[in-house]
């Protein structure tokens, strides 16, 4: 307890007078963030990939082991620690994925307050308003939060690790960063950055000690993973690595640096703030986060893996952080004599995020993916799928979670045999699963219209976010692009 008090005092030291003056504003901004995320949970769906981890957690909770397909030891999730955490929700009989969404909302509140207290006292008030507005209204930050993935927990742990390091709790920082590896493999970047910073600014022997602590922290969990799965790298990482040739530099930059209009508009401000802060004192939280994000982007540009939006939350957070500081500097320069008045007027801005998300909810309505795909699919699986059935699927998240069937994963995330198969037709004809769960796109329809396949499988159900019910095999009626739109084919009994 003494250590906890000591850490808390160093991390969250503040003046009582400042706290009394600013507490209500901070609490109100927390309410703004919570409200926007809550409205977002009605407008936005859970990521299909999140259900993959949920199935691992469900199997673990009922005693089937931390596996996707029962009796197959394949680690197909890049976040085993998050999967174990989700197991607790099942053991506590909490509703899923709602429990994860609630947890992510509170993690975003933690991220917000940690960010405020990481800055000097004289910057907290105005910073909290500007950052709070951007953080709460941000489409991509809302999307990731509601998506049910591990990114929010990883970002919170990364921020805490950086704060611990800057407050001279370096061993605790490297241990937490190492544990975070089992949330996101990008934690290796943070581990390397902590050790490199110690090497450059402090003692080289201290850097080696931190590296040794990181190795020891990682060693036992990795040995345990190897013992159960025969490998330490997730099958999903291996599968996505095979998609490298499909990803261009432009695509990666677009996904990581300009995922939406807000982030794109803030990028010039964030870039300028990065240039300014890169030469600041070595204990600057902003500088540390900025370098972490910069290396993060560089690593993705070098490796060029297939990426999805939640991979970049650390980057989006750093852009919001840097842009906020730049906006503060601009406002302080333009409104030097009217700053006290502006501080009060600026509170009006905090209502804009709530108004924005209420408008989106009124215009878009409840998530069409949740209402037209997930819920009907869940009901259909309950009525039609037996535990002994097998399903070949492209997007394995929801269909795998809502059924207990054996899943042949076309992408190879949890079923490595797919990576060695020549074509989808080969997989279908080799294994003849009971059902096919395919994206309703032109390529798949052309495949299913071939004589040697359509004699075996017939379409029986369609789940489309646009509520399209047509199941004809006319390719011209289907788009070439991916959408949340699926057709289920059933094997004909001869």
Q: What is the per-residue pLDDT across 387-412, written as a single tens digit (0 to 9) for each? A: 999 999 999 999 999 998 999 999 88
Question: Would you state the pLDDT for residue 418?
Answer: 85
> Predicted confidence band at 15 (pLDDT cuts at 50, 70, 90)?
very low
Question: Would you state the pLDDT for residue 243?
Answer: 59
Q: What are residue 444's phi and psi, to 5 degrees?
A: -70, -40
Same domain, 353 and 426: no
Question: Would you state the pLDDT for residue 476?
Answer: 87
- Whether 323 is in a domain gets the answer no
> Predicted confidence band at 12 (pLDDT cuts at 50, 70, 90)?
very low
Structure tokens at 324: 């906020």
- pLDDT for 186 beyond 60: yes
- Whether 61 is in a domain gets the answer yes
Same domain, 109 and 202: yes
Same domain, 372 and 350: no
Same domain, 94 and 220: yes
Question: Would you state the pLDDT for residue 421?
Answer: 75
Question: Would you state the pLDDT for residue 172?
Answer: 95
pLDDT tens, position by position, 448-476:
988 788 889 999 999 999 999 999 998 88
Same domain, 352 and 384: no
pLDDT tens, position by position, 200-258:
888 888 899 999 999 999 999 999 999 999 888 888 888 777 654 557 888 888 888 88
Please state the pTM of the whole predicted model.
0.91
Structure tokens at 440: 């309703």
Same domain, 381 and 449: yes
Question: Would you state the pLDDT for residue 276?
Answer: 82
- Whether 226 is in a domain gets the answer yes
- pLDDT for 152 beyond 90: yes
Q: What are residue 203's phi and psi, to 5 degrees?
A: -90, 140
Question: Would you state the pLDDT for residue 338?
Answer: 58
Give CA–CA dist 33/106, Å, rounded: 10
- Between the CA of residue 195 and those of 155, 203, 282, 375, what are the distances in Å? 19, 10, 14, 47
Same domain, 461 and 483: yes
Distance between terminal CA atoms of the chain? 69
Same domain, 200 and 75: yes
Same domain, 131 and 102: yes
Same domain, 480 and 389: yes
- Whether 292 is in a domain gets the answer no
What is the average pLDDT across 479-488? 91
Q: What percent of the chain has pLDDT over 70?
A: 91
- pLDDT for 21 beyond 80: no
Question: Would you state the pLDDT for residue 239?
Answer: 79
> Predicted confidence band at 275 (pLDDT cuts at 50, 70, 90)?
confident
Structure tokens at 467: 């509520």
What is the average pLDDT across 95-101? 95
pLDDT tens, position by position, 318-327:
999 999 999 9
- Whether 437 is in a domain gets the answer yes
Same domain, 71 and 181: yes
Specify the number of domains making up the chain. Answer: 2
- Whether 290 is in a domain gets the answer no
Same domain, 355 and 375: no
Domain that holds residue 467: 368-491
């Amino acid at each position: 307890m003494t250590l906890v008090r000591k850490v808390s005092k160093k991390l969250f030291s503040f003046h009582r007078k400042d706290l009394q003056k600013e507490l209500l504003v901070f609490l109100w901004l927390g309410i703004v963030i919570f409200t926007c995320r809550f409205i977002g949970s009605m407008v936005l769906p859970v990521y299909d990939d999140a259900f993959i981890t949920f199935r691992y957690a469900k199997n673990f909770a009922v005693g089937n082991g931390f596996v996707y397909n029962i009796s197959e030891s394949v680690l197909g999730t890049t976040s085993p620690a998050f999967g174990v955490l989700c197991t607790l929700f099942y053991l506590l009989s909490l509703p899923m994925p709602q429990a994860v969404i609630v947890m992510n909302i509170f993690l975003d509140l933690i991220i917000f307050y940690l960010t405020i207290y990481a800055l000097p006292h004289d910057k907290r008030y105005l910073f909290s308003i500007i950052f709070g507005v951007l953080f709460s209204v941000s489409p991509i930050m809302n999307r990731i939060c509601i998506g049910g993935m591990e990114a929010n927990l990883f970002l919170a742990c990364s921020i805490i690790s950086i704060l611990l390091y800057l407050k001279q709790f370096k061993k605790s920082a490297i241990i937490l960063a190492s544990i975070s590896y089992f949330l996101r493999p990008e934690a290796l970047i943070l581990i390397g950055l902590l050790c490199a910073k110690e090497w450059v600014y402090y003692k080289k022997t201290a850097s080696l000690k931190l590296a040794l602590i990181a190795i020891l922290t990682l060693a036992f969990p990795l040995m345990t993973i190897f013992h159960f799965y025969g490998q330490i790298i997730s099958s999903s990482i291996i599968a996505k690595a095979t998609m490298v040739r499909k990803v261009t530099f432009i695509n990666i930059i677009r996904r990581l640096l300009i995922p939406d209009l807000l982030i794109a508009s803030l990028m010039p401000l964030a870039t300028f703030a990065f240039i300014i802060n890169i030469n600041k004192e070595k204990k600057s939280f902003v500088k540390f986060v900025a370098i972490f994000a910069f290396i993060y982007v560089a690593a993705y540009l070098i490796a060029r893996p297939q990426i999805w939006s939640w991979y970049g939350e650390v980057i989006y957070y750093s852009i919001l952080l840097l842009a906020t500081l730049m906006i503060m500097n601009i406002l302080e320069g333009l409104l030097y004599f009217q700053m006290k008045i502006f501080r009060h007027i600026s509170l009006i801005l905090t209502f804009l995020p709530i108004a924005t998300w209420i408008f989106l909810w009124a215009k878009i309505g409840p998530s069409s993916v949740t209402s037209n795909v997930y819920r009907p699919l869940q009901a259909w699986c309950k009525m039609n799928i037996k535990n002994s059935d097998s399903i070949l699927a492209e997007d394995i998240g929801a269909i795998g979670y809502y059924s207990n069937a054996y899943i042949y994963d076309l992408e190879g995330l949890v079923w490595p045999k797919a990576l060695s198969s020549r074509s989808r037709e080969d997989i279908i004809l080799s294994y003849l699963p009971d059902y096919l769960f395919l994206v309703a796109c032109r390529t798949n329809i052309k495949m299913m219209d071939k004589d040697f396949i359509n004699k075996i499988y017939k379409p029986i159900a369609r789940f489309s976010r646009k509520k399209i019910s047509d199941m004809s095999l006319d390719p011209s009626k289907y788009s070439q692009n991916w959408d949340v739109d699926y057709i289920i084919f059933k094997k004909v009994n001869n």
